[in-house]
């Protein structure tokens, strides 16, 4: 029977079958780092990866598993029950290591495994047979097999590294060639771009010179057209006054005609009838009326809302300017965006919604002009009216951002959109609305 024990980190073996003690030959467990040799009894084998040793003894491990599988469950040693319970094709290393240790200790299991060992002529079969049969000199032969296996593995590793190096060198050469081609392409593109830029500069200079002449010509034409408009406006005013006087005369003549019961005549060469005279006057006034496109806009005509120079859309001054404006407009508020800039993380609560609606009511009351205020909340975060009475229209929509943009496009008159959402701002600006940021509303002290 083979006995083993750990002494100073080195596993020693005694073979009673041969009737003598062998030198220390670790099989799976190497000596622990820093452990001293155990007198002259310990001879350390050449280093080899323990996992690879298990691979080398794989046929012996497989044969032992077959032998154990044929035993009754009560006959399986307690140390090997986990080995028998393992159903994987390959035994996990800890279990394989324990099985090899048990084989090393117990001759009966080695004998049964030897009966199950299949001869496939591989180095693993030779090593497994040496380990199970244990003829004289088997440890030295096993060492020789291990060293040859190490050399073969090292040789394969060197070949693999050489192939990897060759691939890397080929990839490096290809990358360098590609980089060279890219540099040449970039140089060519830069040259073409420089030529195109020079052509563009020449064209710009020519266009500027041509545009300067066109601008001067257009200015002269505009000045002449403005003079014509002024003259036409004065003529129109005179003609309108003349029409008024003539219509008054026509009314008096009609009254006189009705009283006299006869046709009224205005001189030998004049109109024979006051109706003909009125029609002629209308025709003359229509012919003298200037083209309406040449008439200057009347004072007080509505122009699109635009913040004055120096007033930022994200500052309180923009709100104050709107409140001072005397015109009428509709303010559309991105509800939760505005509430977030006032209430922070609690923006989606009923209290935050109610506070925003109350604040918008104060804003509407403080306005100099007529303001219609609409606030739109996203229905994903709540539903129903905030419950605050007042003149603010509260709406809910599954897509509040799109609802705000839609209102900017469809509401009549001037529209002011309050939001700091970039997509909402861009959509509102495309619709012609004035955009004020939610920060401005939050900083207003009204």
- For the cut 60, the answer to whether the pLDDT of residue 228 exceeds it is yes
pLDDT of 71 higher than 70:
yes
Residue 358 has pLDDT above 50, yes or no: yes
pLDDT at 438: 94
Is the predicted pLDDT of residue 382 greater than 70, yes or no? no
Query: Is pLDDT of 147 > 90?
Result: no
Which residue bears the tokens 């994987």? 88
What is the pLDDT at residue 42? Answer: 34
pLDDT of residue 297: 39
Alpha-carbon distance of 301 to 304, in angstroms, equals 10
pTM over 0.85: no
Residues 6+ apart with CB under 8 A from 390: 357, 358, 361
Mean pLDDT, the chain, whole residue set: 76
Alpha-carbon distance 185 to 190, whole Å?
9
Instruction: Indicate if the pLDDT at residue 126 is higher than 80.
Output: yes
Residue 39 pLDDT greater than 60, yes or no: no
Query: How far is it, in rounded angstroms, from Cα 393 to Cα 382?
Result: 17
d(CA 260, CA 254): 10
As a CATH number, domain 316-443 is: 3.40.50
What's the pLDDT score for residue 273? Answer: 55
What pLDDT shows up at residue 54? 81
Query: 217: exposed, middle or buried (C-beta count within 10 Å: 0-12, 13-18, 19+)?
Result: exposed
Query: pLDDT by residue (tens digit) across 397-418?
Result: 999 999 999 999 999 999 999 9
Return the pLDDT at 334: 96
The percent of residues in the chain predicted with pLDDT above 90, rounded, is: 43
* CA 306 – CA 290 distance, rounded (Å): 32
Instruction: Write down the pLDDT at residue 408.
Output: 96
What local confidence, expressed as pLDDT, does residue 6 receive? 28
With bands split at pLDDT 50, 70 and 90, how would you rate the model's confidence at 145? confident
Residues 325-347 have a mean pLDDT of 90
Residue 418 main-chain phi, psi, to 5 deg = -110, 110
Q: How confident is the model at residue 16 (pLDDT cuts 50, 70, 90)?
A: very low
The percent of residues above 70 in pLDDT, for the chain, comes to: 69
The model's pLDDT over 97-107, given as tens digits with 9 standing for 90+, comes to: 999 999 999 99
Mean pLDDT of 160-186: 90
Where are the domains positioned within the chain?
Answer: 2-152, 316-443
Q: What pLDDT sits at residue 31?
A: 35
Question: Would you call 102 exposed, middle or buried from its count of C-beta atoms within 10 A (0-12, 13-18, 19+)?
Answer: middle
| Residue 5 CB coordination number (10 Å) | 9
Nearest to 360 by CA among 382, 330, 381: 330
Confidence grade of residue 254 (pLDDT, cut at 50, 70, 90): low
Confidence of residue 253 (pLDDT cuts 50, 70, 90): low
């Amino acid at each position: 029977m083979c006995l083993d024990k750990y002494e100073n980190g080195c596993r020693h073996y005694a073979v009673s079958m041969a009737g003598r003690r062998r030198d220390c030959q670790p099989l799976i467990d190497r000596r622990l780092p820093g452990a001293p040799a155990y007198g002259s009894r310990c001879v350390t084998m050449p280093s080899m990866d323990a996992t690879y040793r298990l691979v080398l003894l794989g046929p012996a491990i497989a044969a032992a598993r077959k032998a154990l599988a044929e035993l009754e469950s009560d006959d399986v040693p307690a140390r090997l029950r986990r080995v028998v319970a393992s159903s994987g094709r390959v035994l996990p290393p800890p279990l394989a290591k324990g099985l090899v240790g048990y084989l090393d200790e117990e001759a009966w299991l080695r004998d049964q495994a030897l009966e199950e060992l299949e001869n496939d002529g591989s180095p693993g079969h030779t090593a497994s047979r040496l380990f199970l049969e244990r003829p004289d000199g088997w440890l030295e032969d096993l060492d020789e097999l291990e060293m040859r296996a190490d050399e073969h593995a090292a040789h394969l590793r060197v070949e693999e590294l050489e192939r990897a190096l060759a691939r890397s060198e080929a990839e490096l050469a290809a990358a360098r060639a590609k980089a060279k081609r890219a540099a040449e392409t970039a140089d060519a593109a830069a040259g073409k771009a420089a030529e195109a830029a020079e052509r563009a500069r020449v064209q710009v200079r020519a266009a500027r010179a041509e545009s300067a002449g066109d601008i001067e010509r257009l200015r002269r034409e505009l000045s002449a057209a403005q003079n014509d408009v002024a003259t036409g406006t004065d003529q129109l005013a005179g003609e309108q006054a003349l029409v008024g006087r003539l219509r008054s005369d026509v009314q008096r003549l009609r009254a006189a005609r009705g009283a006299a019961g006869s046709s009224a005549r205005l001189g030998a060469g004049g109109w024979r009838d006051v109706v003909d005279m009125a029609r002629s006057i209308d025709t003359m006034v229509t012919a003298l009326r200037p083209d309406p496109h040449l008439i200057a806009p009347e004072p007080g005509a509505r122009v699109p809302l635009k913040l004055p120079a120096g007033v930022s859309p994200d500052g309180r001054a923009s709100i104050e300017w709107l409140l001072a404006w005397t015109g009428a407009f509709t303010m559309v508020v991105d509800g939760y965006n505005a509430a977030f800039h006032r209430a922070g993380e609690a923006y989606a609560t009923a209290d935050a919604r109610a506070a925003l609606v109350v604040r918008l009511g104060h804003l509407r009351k403080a306005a100099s002009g007529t303001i219609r205020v609409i606030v739109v909340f996203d229905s994903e975060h709540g539903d129903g009216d905030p419950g605050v009475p007042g003149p603010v229209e509260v709406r809910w929509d599954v897509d509040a951002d799109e609802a705000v943009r839609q209102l900017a496009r469809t509401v009549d008159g001037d529209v002011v959109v309050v939001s700091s959402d970039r997509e909402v701002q861009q959509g509102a600006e495309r619709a012609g609305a004035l955009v004020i940021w939610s920060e401005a509303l939050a900083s207003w002290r009204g």
